[in-house]
Structure 1
Amino acid sequence: MQVEAVIFDIGNVLIEWQPENFYDREIGRAARTRLFSEVDLHGMNDRVDLGHDFRETIYGTAAANPAHGDAVRMWHDRWLELARPVIPQSVRLMRALQARGVPVFALTNFGIGSFELARTEYDFLSEFDRAYVSGHMGVIKPDVRIYEMVEADCGIAPERLLFTDDREKNIAAAAARGWQTHLFEGPEGWAARLVEAGLLETAEAA
């Protein structure tokens, strides 16, 4: 089935998202392990991704966990250091597709405030033909509703969408809707899939 649009996740597809690595560097692995076991930082981030206020959510979590307050607040205050580095080949693939006239969308679990902050650092986040950001949508992957909302907005048949994401559950939910999918495990595999789909030539995907 011919692909009419390609959909990129952002975290761990276009930008590395491994907050544990940041905290390992800043406070050491043992302290980081204790922090993440005692404070549900990923659950906190899910609330941000659902549209809750970026600063209030994180600072509220810090206030509720005073023993870890300084470390929790870094999730907000030094967020750009958590969301890095860029995955350069993935950005090149995105732009190569667009140069070919292939629409490229984002479908990402991302907060409203954090996404706007990321756009100040990463210009390619403003280059999508359509950006589906969970914070604005009020729902996060892999909830079926987010995929339904994308389909309704773009008007493209599910089987003509090609979606890549680094999380199996997000890929499985899209595949259940009939989307073509690729589990992102690195840009080389994604490049090969785009060539296989006839969307890019090998040289363009390098």
Structure 2
Amino acid sequence: MGFHEIRFPANLSFGSVGGPERRTEIVTLANGFEERNSLWAHSRRRYDAGVSLRSLDDVESLIAFYEARRGQLYGFRWKDWSDYKSCLPSKQPTAMDQSIGLGDGTRRTFQLTKTYVSGGQSYSRPVVKPVLGTVLVAISGDPKVETIEFFVDVTTGVVSFPTPPDEGVRITAGFEFDVPVRFDTDAVQTSVSSFKAGDMPSVPVVEVRV
């Protein structure tokens, strides 16, 4: 799959609408009870980039970005302003934000994840597009130094260690991250007159699996 490691202009994604979606199969039985089955292990996010455009210059920037991605052909990074940190949006990431694994004395690589918890239930979301320079890692609460004590691949979200962490130690991380997406349309239609009147173009964006 073609993917460009470039972020959609963050000032244009600010104010966009969107969020996660799930695919659930629901069958209503003869007795009125339901059987529900989740078809996706992970949610998929959708956004509309059009509603955040504020000027004709914004429209031109969006068209340039769209053309450079060849429409739906190439994926890109998207900053979801409602969910882009390993911690609460009002906080700053720390190396103890998220648990990403336990050492076993052999394993050297760990996938960045963000866990969502509510009512005793939880969901772990793989984070595959961390932002360069924001990843913090600790082993058993001891912060480590990037490029010396750990390495991170910002194209996959995989953290690796030169030597395997000891058995039973907890590996934690904090980070900012983007969502891998693509445009979900083969046409972007704009009108200068209608835009000035407040009629924003619809530019759907959808998360992709990478």
TM over 0.5: no
Name the larger-Rg structure.
Answer: 2
The structure in which a higher percent of residues are helix is 1
Structure with the bigger RCO (C-alpha within 8 Å, sep 6+) is: 1
TM-score, scaled to structure 1 = 0.30
The structure in which a higher percent of residues are strand is 2
